Homo-oligomer: A and B are copies of this chain.
């Protein structure tokens, strides 16, 4: 049995970058690169759970639904999220298995289609903040607000987008499945895009909701549920920085939960980007995790060895 368990959270941009057009070839090439980094870690003896963002992919699926809407009924966001888990899970399964083969390792790989339980009373439902899908003109935005009750937000210089709630993850419905497969020795791909958000009614029946759970918060919960020692959040910067983008910018090698909380309170980490990653790391460590590391994809393996990225400890 592997000595340690790590949950690796891949940013959606590790699979499809902003400047790319979104072909399957581009995405496979990116996923193959990420998979080789993940397999390096598996080869060091870690039990591995992979989770991933889905922003660019679910954005494309939503846009295709929008463009085709006079011909075919658009699918709601929960269904599109499940589609994106199938799409990205498949690309990861293929690429991880190939990277394992190249490395001479023999481990099963499994994608677990995951639902994330959220609280129907989460205040996020009163205040949708997460922009998703295509851009609209002001006139279209007003019509969508009236017709569908969507909350629209203006993105300066780019138009209007739908904003959906981003509630906190409470539980993973497929926890049992993930734990079973992981302890049997598989590399498990789970909770893509933060998982498909579902709420429970008074009787316990689950219903999908049009919301997006932040994938880093879900990664932290997932790491706690599988008893992972390490949470590795991969992104497109090499280290967390203080005073980011200013002349006195200062990269952090290591910090404690207490220091991270202090920087968060001081507004050092913006809500849309680094903030959720730091909060996720802090949440994981406060729930008993041993180490959280934020690093760039290329440094993944070195980051777990303590030679790259920003480490946060309890």
Contact = CB atoms under 8 A, between A and B. Distances in A.
Interface in A172-195: 173-174, 176-177, 180-181, 184, 186
B79 A90 contact: yes
A97 interface: yes
Given A82-B86, A180-B181, 4 more contacts: A61-B83, A64-B67, A94-B115, A180-B180
A29 interface: no
Interface in A150-185: 173-174, 176-177, 180-181, 184
Given A63-B72, A90-B82, A206 B112 contact: no
Nearest to A205: B98
B91 A87 contact: no
Contacts of A68: 63-64, 67-68
A64 to B, nearest CB: 4
The 6 A-B residue pairs with the shortest CB-CB distance in the complex, in nearest-first order: A86-B86, A82-B90, A111-B113, A67-B68, A83-B83, A64-B68
A196 interface: yes
Interface string A78-102: 1100111111011101100110010
Given A82-B86, A113-B86, A198 B94 contact: yes
Nearest to A67: B68
Contact of A89 (B82, B93, B97, B101): B82
A314 interface: no
Q: Chain A contact residues (Cβ within 8 angstroms of B): what range?
A: 35 or more
A71 B68 CA distance: 11
A71 B89 CA distance: 24
Given A87-B83, A90-B78, A186 B196 contact: no
Interface in A18-73: 21-24, 60-61, 63-65, 67-68, 71-73
A174 B177 CA distance: 14
